Structure 1
Amino acid sequence: MADSWQPACDAYRRAIAASEVESKSDPENEPYRSKYRARELLREVRALLAPGAEEESGGGSQAAGEDEGRLLAARLAVIEFRLGVNHTETEEMSAGEEHLVKAVRLLERCRMAHDCVSIYVQGAGENNLGILWADRGEIIIAQTYLESAESLYCQYMKKIGKPPTDPDEHFTLEEQTLTEQERAKRFERVYTHTLYYLAQVYKHLKQDEKAAQYCHTTLQRQLEYDSYNPVEWAINAATLSQYYLGKQCYMEARHCLAASTVIFSKAGQILSPEAAKETDESEQERLDHLRQKKAEIARCWVKYCLNLLADARKKLEDNIGELDVDLQEELKAERKKQEDEKEKGRKKAVLFGSSDLYDSILAVEEKVHCSLPLDFKEAREVFLVGQNYINEAKEYFQLDGHVTDHIEVIQDHSALFKVLAFFEEDYERRCKMHKRRVDMLEPLCKELNPQYYLLICRQLQFELADTYYEMMDLKVAIGNKLDEMDSHTIKKINSLAQAAIKFYEMFLDSLRSPDKKFPEKLEEDVVRPALVAKFHIARLYGKLITADGKKQLENMQISLNCYAFLVNYCADHEEAIKSVETELELTKEMVALLPARMERLRIQLSSFS
C-alpha cells in the first residue's frame, strides 16, 4: 500500500477541498457539481487503499498485522463516512445511509482504539446516522444512534482519555499531524455536536427537562472550546431562557438572556436601516439578519420581565384580585432571610463561559431583578427594563412588513402596563396606565382589516373591552369615595362603560355568519370569551348611571336579556358550563332578581306619571 499512499492523500485532500470550499461557488444550474467531483475522488482513494473494498464488511481488520489491519479499517471507514455525508448532502439519503452503516461495521471491533474512536463517533456514522434518521422523522432510531455515540465518548474518556486521532489525520503526512491540544479540541467539538442533536431529539420526545439540560451543556461547551457562531449561540441561549421561565427559574432565565446579549455583541456592528441601504446587497442581508435576531432576543427579555411581574401578581393578589398588603410584608421579610443562600447555591449550576466573560454577563444581569418584585418601586424597575426591550423589538418588527410580530410586541407592552397597574395604589394613576394601553391598542384595531386578520382583531377587541371595563371600575371606586358623584365623574363612568360595551359587541359581531346570524353553537375556542363578553355587557348596562327612569328600565332589560342568553346557552350546551362556572352562578342570581327590580321601577315610574 506504500506506493499508493501519497496519491491517496493527495486525492483525499482534493476531495475535501472540492466538497467544503469549491462547492460554495457552484453555479445554480449545477448546485452539486463539486460534490460529485469530490465523490469520484473519494472512490479513487478507496480503490487505491483496498481494491474490492466495496464488498468488504470487516475491512482491513482481517489483514496480516493487527495494527495494520486496524489502520486500514480506520482509513476505509473515513472514506465510507465521507461518501455517506456526500450522498446525504446531495439528497441521496438511502445511499448515504448505506455508506455510513459500512463505516460503523468496519470499526465495530476496534471502536475504542485511539485511532478509531473519533471516526466511529463522528465519521463512522453515530452522529451522522442519528441526524439522518432525525431528518426522516424517525426520532427513536436517531436517539439510539446519538446515545450510543454519547456512551462511547464517555467510555473512551474514562478508560483511555488520550486525545484520539482526528479522521482527517489518516490522510495526512507525518509532519502535518495535529498537536495533542488540537486533537482534544476537535474530539470535544464532535461530542458537543452529539449533545446538540440529543437536545433536539429530547425536545421532539417532549422530554423538556432533559432537552434543556443537554442544550445548556451544549452551549457551555461551545463557549469552552470556542466553537460557535455568536448569532446562533445567542438565539439558542435566549430560547433556552424561555424554558426556564416556564419553570419559574428566573435566575437561570436571566443568566441565559444576559449571556445571549453579551455573545450577540460579538457578531459585529448593526447599522441603522438608513445606513444599511448604502451597503451592497449581501451586506444589507447580513445586517437585516442581525437586526432581526437582536429584536428576537429583545422579545425574549420582554417575556422575562412580563412573566416576572405576572408571577409576582399571582403570588400577591387576594381573592378579589387586589394586592394583599399583609402577605406583601410577610414575603418581604421571608425574602430577606433566604436571598443570599439561594443566590450562592443556584448560580454555581448555571454559569456560562470563563471568568472574563462572566464579568460582562454579570453586568447585564445586574440591570434587572431575578426575584419577584413585591412593591410598586421594584415592579416599576422591571417594567422599565421590559419597556426598553419593547422599543428595541419595535425597531425591527414594524407594522409595515411585520404585522403579526408588531402586534404581539404591542400586546406585550399593554400587558406590562396592565400588570404594573396592579402594584399602583393610587386609582387615578392606575387608570392612566390603562389609558396608555387603550392608546396603543385602539389605533391597531381600527387599522387592521378583519378579513385578513380576524383572530388578531378579536384579541384586540376583547382586550380593549376589558381595559375600558377596568377603567370604569376604577372610576366608580374613585366616585364612591366622594360625598356625592359630580356630573363629570358620572359622564366619565358612562363613557367608559359604553366604550367597553362597544368593543365587546364588536367581538361578538365578529362571530356572526356572513348573513349576520349569531351561531347557535359557538366554536370551542370562543365559547368562554363570547359568554364572558355577554356577561360583562349585562353588568355594564347595569352600571350605567342615568336620572331617566325609562332609560334605566331599558338598560335593565338589555342586561336581563344578556344574562338570559348565558343561562339559556349553558342549558342547551352543557359542555359550556365548566368554562363559565363562576359567571353562570352570578348570572342565575341576576336572572332571578332583575325582573322584581324592574317591576318596582315600573311601579315608581307609573306613580310619577
Structure 2
Amino acid sequence: MAAHQSSEWRSVCEKFRLAQELSEIESRKDPENNPFRSKYKARDLLKEIHCSLKKIEIEEEGEADNEADCESRQMLDGELGSECGKSCSGDSPAGLRAARLAVVQYCLGVNHIETEELSAGEQHLMNCLKLIDKCTTTRENVSLFIQARNQLGILWAGRDEIEKAQGFLEIAESMYLLYMREDGQPPLDLEDFFVLEGEELSQQEKIRRFEMAYTHTLYYLAQVYKNLQQYEKAGQYCHSTLQRQLEYKQFVPLEWAINAATLSQYYITKTRYMEARHCLAAASVIATLAGEIPSEAAAKESDAECEKREELLQKRSEIARCWIKYCLNLMQDAKKLLEDNIGELDLDRQEELKRAHRNVEEEKEKGRKSAILFGSSDTFDSICSLEEKVSSMLPLDFEEARSIFLVGQSYVAQAKEYFAMDGHVTDHIEILQDHSALFKVLAFFEQDLERRCKMHKRRVDMLEPICKDLNAQYYLLICRQLQFELAETYYEMMDLKLAVADRQDQPDVHTIKKFNNLCSSSMKYYQMFLDSIRSPEGKFPEKLEDDLLRPALVARFRVARLQSKLISSNLDTQLENLSNSLESYNFVVQYCEENPEAKKAVETELELSIEMVSLLPLKINRIRSKIASCN
C-alpha cells in the first residue's frame, strides 16, 4: 500500500501509534480515581487524526479551499456520509480514504465502549460499517469487517440482545471463511493503514493478528450459543477457540487451562469422556506453563510471590476438582450400566459388556480422536502422557474402577491444598463429599461384603468430624447434606452386616452389638436431619417444601425400617421398637394421604409402608400376648 511521506502524514501515523499505546498499555497504569485518563487522551488523538484525514482528502481531490480546517470535533459523534460511493476496489484513493476513516471510527467505537459510553460506541462502529459495507470483502478491509462485527456482537450481548449479537458474529464468521476460501493471503491489519513506507507489519504478524480476530469471533459465538442454550454448538466453538489459541500461541496459560477444564465438565454431562479427559490433561499441562508454585517461605518474603502462589494454587486446585468430577462421573455412569433393579452388581450384565463393550468403544474413540486434539509439538507429548494415566472408558470390574478411583483420590489431595477447611469451608466440604462419593461407587464394584463395609467406614471417618463441628446456624444446607449422607452410609453398613449375619447360623453377641450400633447411628443422623426441618418451636411442617419432600419421607421410612431391625432378646424392648416403627410407617402413609402429590416422589417407600402398616400390628399383638403370658 502506498503511504504518504509528508510531515503531516508522519504526524498522523505518530498520533495513531500513540493512541494505540495509550489505549493498550498506558491505560493499565491509570489511577483508580481517574480510570479512563489514558483512554480520553487516545480519543482526542483519534479525533485529530480524523480531522487530518479529511484535510488530506480535500488536498488530494484538488479542492480550491485549501485553508479549510476542522472547526468542530463534535462532527465525529454521528455525522458521516458514505465514502464508498465512487470506488472501493484495491488501493483506489476513495477506497483507501474510506478504509482509513473506517479504522478511525472503529477505534473511536472501541474507545467509547471501554469508557462505558455504549451508545456512542455503537454509533462509531455503525459509522465504520457504513464506510466499508458497500465494498466487496478484500484484503484491505476483511480484518476491519470482522473486528467491527465482533465488537458489535459483544455490545449487543452485553445488552442481553443475544440474537442480535448472534447475527453480527455469524456474519463475521462467514466473512472469514469466504475470504480464506477465495483469497487466503495475509490481509491488511488496522495498523497497516497508518504506517510509513517500509514500516509495514510482516506477513507473519498480519496472519497472526487476522487469525486472532477470527479466534475472538469463535470465542464470542461460543458464549452466544451458550446463552441461547445451544450447548452442543457452544461446546464445539469453545473447543475450536481453545485449539486455535494454542495453535497461534494466543493464550494466557492459567486462563486457557481453566477454560479447558470447564469445557471438560460439559463433555462429562454428555458422557464424552475421551474429550473430557483430553481437555483436563491439556489444562493440567498448560497450567504448568504459568511457572512453579513459589514456596511458603518465598511467599512470606515478597507480596508478588505471595500473590503468584495464591493464584497458582487456586487455579491448579480448581483443575484438580474437575479431575475429581471426571473420575466420579465415569465410575457412576458405569455403575448405572451394571446395576440390577435393587442396585447391586449384575454379574451377567457385567460379562456381557466385557465381551462386547471394549471393541465398540475403542472403534468410537478412533473416529473422534483426531478432531479433538490440543497442543503443539512442545506440549502434545505431555498431554498424551497424562491421558494414559487414566482410562476414558467405563470401568467394568473392581480393578478398572479402582485405578480410576486412585486417580480421583490423588486429585482430592491436590484440591485440598488450596481449598482448606480454614478459609474455604464450603469448597472443602464439597471436595470431601466427592471423596466420599468415590468410595461409595468403588464399594459397588467390591463383592467382598466386609471390604465394602470398610469402604463405607472410610466415608464416615471423613464426614462425621466435620458434621459434628459445623455450625448449623450458618451452614444449615450443608449440615443437612452431611446428616443425610452419614445416615445413608450407616444404613448401607447395616444392610451389609445384615447380609453377613444371614450367612451365619447364629450371630454372636459382638455381631449383634455391632449391628445395633449401626442401626442406632443411622437413626441418629436421620433424626438430626428431620429435626433440622422443624420450626424453632419444634413443630414438624404440615407441608414439606419440594426440595425436602423426598429426603424427609425417605428418612422417616428408613427410621421405621431401622427400628424394626433392632435385635433384642427383651420383649418389652422389642415391643417399643416395633411400636416406634409402626408410628414412622404411619407418618409416611398419612402424609401421602393428606398430600396426594407426594405419592410420586416415594412410590416404592409408600407401597412398603402401607404393607408394613397392615403387618406390624399383628407382630406387635403377638409380642404383647407373650408379655402377658410371662406375667
TM over 0.5: yes
SS where residue 59 of structure 1 aligns?
coil
Query: Deviation string for 1:550-585 (max 9, x for gaps)?
Result: 111111111111111111111111111110011101
Alpha-carbon separation, structure 2, partners of 1:239 and 1:232 = 11
Choose which of 283, 294, 305 in structure 2 pairs with 1:260. 283
Is the deviation greater in 78-87 or in 331-340?
Answer: 331-340
Number of residues of Structure 1 aligned to a counterpart in Structure 2: 606
Alpha-carbon separation, structure 2, partners of 1:16 and 1:83 = 11
Instruction: Give the drift of 1:271.
Output: 2.2
Structure 1 position 206 matched with structure 2 position 240: no
- The answer on whether the counterparts of 1:78 and 1:103 sit within 8 Å (CA) in structure 2 is yes
**Partner residue of 2:58?**
none
**Partner residue of 2:258?**
235
Alpha-carbon separation, structure 2, partners of 1:154 and 1:350 = 20
**Partner residue of 1:475?**
497
Gaps of 5+ in 2: 56-69
Choose which of 5, 19, 26 in structure 1 pairs with 2:23. 19
Instruction: Give the drift of 1:161.
Output: 1.6
**Partner residue of 1:127?**
150
Alpha-carbon separation, structure 1, partners of 2:197 and 2:408 = 58
> Are the structure 2 counterparts of residues 111 and 186 from structure 1 closer, same or farther at C-alpha, using a change threshold of 3 Å?
farther
Alpha-carbon separation, structure 1, partners of 2:239 and 2:608 = 49
Alpha-carbon separation, structure 2, partners of 1:111 and 1:570 = 70
**Partner residue of 1:86?**
111
Choose which of 83, 87, 107 in structure 2 pairs with 1:59. 83
Alpha-carbon separation, structure 2, partners of 1:363 and 1:588 = 57
Amino acid at match of 1:312: A
**Partner residue of 2:212?**
189
- The answer on whether the counterparts of 2:187 and 2:206 sit within 8 Å (CA) in structure 1 is yes
> Are the structure 2 counterparts of residues 426 and 14 from structure 1 closer, same or farther at C-alpha, using a change threshold of 3 Å?
same
**Partner residue of 2:132?**
107
**Partner residue of 1:571?**
593
Amino acid at match of 2:259: N
Alpha-carbon separation, structure 2, partners of 1:167 and 1:427 = 70
**Partner residue of 1:337?**
359
- The answer on whether the counterparts of 2:139 and 2:188 sit within 8 Å (CA) in structure 1 is yes
CA RMSD across the alignment: 1.5
**Partner residue of 2:120?**
95
Instruction: Give the drift of 1:322.
Output: 1.0
Amino acid at match of 1:41: L
**Partner residue of 2:53?**
49
SS where residue 403 of structure 2 aligns?
helix
- The answer on whether the counterparts of 1:4 and 1:49 sit within 8 Å (CA) in structure 2 is no
Query: Deviation string for 1:329-377 (max 9, x for gaps)?
Result: 1111113433542332221121112354321111000000111111111
Is the deviation greater in 195-204 or in 423-432?
Answer: 423-432
**Partner residue of 2:13?**
9
Structure 1 position 76 matched with structure 2 position 101: yes
> Are the structure 2 counterparts of residues 274 and 443 from structure 1 closer, same or farther at C-alpha, using a change threshold of 3 Å?
farther
- The answer on whether the counterparts of 1:312 and 1:374 sit within 8 Å (CA) in structure 2 is yes
Is the deviation greater in 432-441 or in 475-484?
Answer: 475-484
**Partner residue of 2:438?**
416
**Partner residue of 2:615?**
593
Matches within 5 A, 1:346-495: 346-495=368-517
Alpha-carbon separation, structure 2, partners of 1:527 and 1:278 = 54
> Are the structure 2 counterparts of residues 494 and 376 from structure 1 closer, same or farther at C-alpha, using a change threshold of 3 Å?
same
SS where residue 541 of structure 1 aligns?
helix
**TM-score w.r.t. length of structure 1:** 0.97
**TM-score w.r.t. length of structure 2:** 0.94
**Partner residue of 1:537?**
559
Amino acid at match of 1:37: K
Alpha-carbon separation, structure 1, partners of 2:571 and 2:531 = 29
Alpha-carbon separation, structure 1, partners of 2:295 and 2:628 = 72
Query: Deviation string for 1:416-446 (max 9, x for gaps)?
Result: 0000011111111111111110011011111
> Are the structure 2 counterparts of residues 316 and 272 from structure 1 closer, same or farther at C-alpha, using a change threshold of 3 Å?
farther
Instruction: Give the drift of 1:540.
Output: 0.3
SS where residue 509 of structure 1 aligns?
helix
SS where residue 50 of structure 1 aligns?
helix
Is the deviation greater in 436-445 or in 283-292?
Answer: 283-292
SS where residue 92 of structure 2 aligns?
helix
- The answer on whether the counterparts of 1:534 and 1:562 sit within 8 Å (CA) in structure 2 is yes
Choose which of 176, 179, 182 in structure 2 pairs with 1:153. 176
Instruction: Give the drift of 1:61.
Output: 4.8
Alpha-carbon separation, structure 2, partners of 1:272 and 1:57 = 61
**Partner residue of 2:337?**
315
Give percent identity, aligned residues only.
60
- The answer on whether the counterparts of 1:61 and 1:72 sit within 8 Å (CA) in structure 2 is no
Alpha-carbon separation, structure 2, partners of 1:336 and 1:91 = 56
Instruction: Give the drift of 1:404.
Output: 0.7
> Are the structure 2 counterparts of residues 3 and 272 from structure 1 closer, same or farther at C-alpha, using a change threshold of 3 Å?
closer
- The answer on whether the counterparts of 2:88 and 2:136 sit within 8 Å (CA) in structure 1 is no
**Partner residue of 1:581?**
603
SS where residue 198 of structure 2 aligns?
helix
**Partner residue of 2:34?**
30
Instruction: Give the drift of 1:19.
Output: 1.3
Query: Deviation string for 1:42-63 (max 9, x for gaps)?
Result: 1000000015673223136548
Alpha-carbon separation, structure 2, partners of 1:191 and 1:494 = 67
Is the deviation greater in 345-354 or in 334-343?
Answer: 334-343
**Partner residue of 1:169?**
192
Structure 1 position 294 matched with structure 2 position 304: no
Matches within 5 A, 1:268-283: 268-279=291-302, 281-283=303-305
Amino acid at match of 1:78: V
Structure 1 position 324 matched with structure 2 position 349: no
Is the deviation greater in 523-532 or in 347-356?
Answer: 347-356
Alpha-carbon separation, structure 1, partners of 2:85 and 2:19 = 25
- The answer on whether the counterparts of 2:294 and 2:308 sit within 8 Å (CA) in structure 1 is no
- The answer on whether the counterparts of 1:61 and 1:73 sit within 8 Å (CA) in structure 2 is no
Alpha-carbon separation, structure 1, partners of 2:298 and 2:453 = 41
Instruction: Give the drift of 1:114.
Output: 1.0
